[in-house]
Structure 1
Amino acid sequence: MTENVNLRRRALLQGGAGLALSSLVVHGAAQTWPARPIRLLTGYAPGGSSDITARAISAPLARLLGQPIVVDNKPGASSALAAAEVARAAPDGYTLGLLDNAPMTIVPSLRNPGYDPLTGFTSISMVTQMPQVLVAAPTLPANSVRELIELMKKQPGKLNYGSGGSGSVGHLCAELLKSRSQTVAVHVPYRGAAPVVTALMAGEIQFAFLTYTGTAAFLKSGNLKALAVSSTTRLPTLPQVPTIAENVLPGFDAPGWFALLAPAGLPAGIVAILNKALADTMKMPAIVSRMEELGQIIATGKVDPKQTIPTELEQWKRLITERKIVVDG
């Protein structure tokens, strides 16, 4: 409890003059928060990357804040159900969301999700980035992004690529690659990542953008090969694999990510406390190690969701319009 009090004091002191007289009410709320358990919503079923990440960070966060954090899985509509519930909640700090770019930038680019990703939330902090790995079967006569692009240009429309579904991160990454490189390949959507891996090894498709956790075992066994990653930073678990940006397409940046978000109007004092607690959590060696195992790059304090969300939203809207992408169903 002493650690919790000290954490609140440090966070409030760091706010300085910016929280002055007009923030006395906010100070009062922050000084008494949290007084009960906190609910952390995630938009996917138990066992996936979102759930594992939420549970990994919730335990140390709870210790720092002095209250339990209950992870609440609300799968459905590409995580938009969970995002909508966060947006509707009271801005009192007791309902938070560990949300990814699916409900925050992809779904709103495809349809009206019933909330505004720019005004309906308080962005607390980016948690991690989860780059997509561009993978191919070992038999594909291309060992780099540059060689893959050359192959697509020589054989326009002859290569197939797979994804876990229309409108998924993997789908949009591939379409962005095609758009930036002015190439043609045929999209084959599947229901999830596992069948994409099976199709790659069977030769039904030639390449795909998938997560590290979904491909690690196949990369180690030699059943798949990694050509590049979709972020601007290399994955610590695949240090020899270049980024697309450094290899051939400068500025290419399309990672998955997880951000800690709250309803719009969360008091600044509570935001400061959460920011400090999350920053301390993400520096813990056990958390750093766990995130690397999951193929994630810690982005807390390095990437600002208040900039990432509008920038990415604009990118996906433009791409979806240009490529005439429609979502399944």
Structure 2
Amino acid sequence: MHRRPPLVLKQAALLALAFGAHAPLLAAEAFPTRPITLIVPYAPGGAGDILGRSVAKELAGIAGKPVVVENKPGAGGNIGAELVARAQDKDGHTLLLGATSLASNPSLMRSMPVDPLKDLVAISGVASLQNVIAVNPSSRLRNVSELVAEAKKHPGKLTFGTAGIGTSSHLSVELFKGEVGVDLLHVPYKSGGPAMADVMAGNLDLVFELMPAVVGHVRSGKLRGIAVTGSARSEALPDLPTVAESGYPKYSFVSWFGIFGPSGMDSRRVAQLNEMMAKALASGEFKSRLEQLGAEGMSGSPAQFDRFFQGEVAKWKRVVAEQGLPLMN
């Protein structure tokens, strides 16, 4: 039996330690190894789709691999959320663009296909943004006061379209109805695009649509904005007053979007994806794009975004109970 000289053994041990110490780094550098799929749980043309494609473009440049957007609309975003939660690969190649509805659905839906707090992992915020109350340019409704007066005169007659039950465009109206004491007829769609098209065509009275989806139509005159839903005016549409300015100071609604992955993802991969999103959010081009859309970037660590998300789930549980919002199928 031949015995290795002590020096050779020592060198081998040092090499093993060196490679072992750099294993996480090497693994990190190897990601992604194939295209990343970003599930957007809304149909093309809506705010979620617009933001999702902006994120995908920026991430692809950072990752060096394509980021493919797959639209999976329906059930207030639950269809897309379930696809990601049930994804076989948990290595960061399948991601979800989640939104406000991901936090509100557990309190609004009679049954949920997934538990977002248990079945998904929060990776990074993307953007926060206001909704815009918009009508057809020829509509008799020119401001919030006229909208409320008409709704009170004809309860349940004015129609509003949304991107689906439980989405932010729906929740913003439900809060408005409770705050001002009016009844409006809900017409749910699979995304905000078709709802806005029906307002333009005169088939629907109004939408409370997310800023990125509606801002271009308001600027071009295809829709008329009458107010924004946040606590302050938007730089994207500075001439529009807030609902609070219009006589209802307690009303305020702001939506958000963020990146999630399936639970069970390695924390180092979560951190790596968060770093990639931080680079995207710091990009001058992406900042400019968000500004054009009337949105604000949401930066922060995975832990910070997770705390924010847990707070949103708790908030909507409280709001649904306090407002007596009806449960949805």
TM-score range relative to shorter protein: 0.7 to 0.9
Match of 1:39 among 37, 40, 53: 37
Matched-pair contact (CA < 8 Å) for 1:167–1:325: no
Question: How far 1:311 moved relative to its partner?
Answer: 3.9
Letter of the 2:99 partner, please give it.
D
C-alpha separation in 1, matches of 2:32 and 2:45:
29
SS of 2:114's partner is coil
C-alpha separation in 1, matches of 2:272 and 2:122:
13
Q: Please say if 1:278 is aligned against 2:288.
A: no
Matched-pair contact (CA < 8 Å) for 1:162–1:208: yes
C-alpha separation in 1, matches of 2:72 and 2:161:
23
Question: How far 1:200 moved relative to its partner?
Answer: 4.3
| Correspondence list, 1:93-242, <5 A | 93-106=92-105, 109-137=108-136, 143-145=142-144, 148-149=147-148, 152=151, 155=153, 157=155, 160-164=158-162, 165-181=164-180, 183-191=181-189, 193=192, 196-197=195-196, 200=199, 206-216=205-215, 218-222=217-221, 224-242=223-241
Structure 1 runs not aligned, ≥5 long: 1-24
Structure 2 runs not aligned, ≥5 long: 1-19
Matched-pair contact (CA < 8 Å) for 1:41–1:82: yes
Q: TM-score, normalised by structure 1?
A: 0.73
Counterparts in 2 of 1:158 and 1:75: CA distance versus 1, 3 Å: closer
Matched-pair contact (CA < 8 Å) for 1:109–1:320: yes
Matched-pair contact (CA < 8 Å) for 2:131–2:228: yes
Q: Please say if 1:262 is aligned against 2:261.
A: yes
Paired residue for 1:80? 78
- Number of residue-to-residue matches in the alignment: 301
C-alpha separation in 2, matches of 1:193 and 1:81:
17
Counterparts in 2 of 1:222 and 1:55: CA distance versus 1, 3 Å: closer
C-alpha separation in 2, matches of 1:138 and 1:49:
21
Question: How far 1:108 moved relative to its partner?
Answer: 5.9
C-alpha separation in 2, matches of 1:202 and 1:59:
32
Match of 2:53 among 52, 55, 67: 55
Determine what percentage of the aligned residue pairs are the same residue: 30
Question: How far 1:237 moved relative to its partner?
Answer: 1.8
SS of 1:129's partner is strand
Letter of the 2:328 partner, please give it.
V
Counterparts in 2 of 1:194 and 1:45: CA distance versus 1, 3 Å: closer
Determine which structure has more spread, i.e. the larger CA radius of gyration.
2
Once the two structures are superposed, residues 64-96 of structure 1 have per-residue CA deviations (whole angstroms, 9 ceiling, x without a partner) of 345443434444433323212322335433332
Once the two structures are superposed, residues 248-287 of structure 1 have per-residue CA deviations (whole angstroms, 9 ceiling, x without a partner) of 4456443333211122243333333322221221222221
Matched-pair contact (CA < 8 Å) for 1:97–1:262: yes
Counterparts in 2 of 1:268 and 1:252: CA distance versus 1, 3 Å: farther
Letter of the 1:219 partner, please give it.
V
Once the two structures are superposed, residues 207-264 of structure 1 have per-residue CA deviations (whole angstroms, 9 ceiling, x without a partner) of 3312345444543354543222223454332122233355544564433332111222
C-alpha RMSD of the superposition: 3.7
C-alpha separation in 2, matches of 1:69 and 1:260:
13
Q: TM-score, normalised by structure 2?
A: 0.73
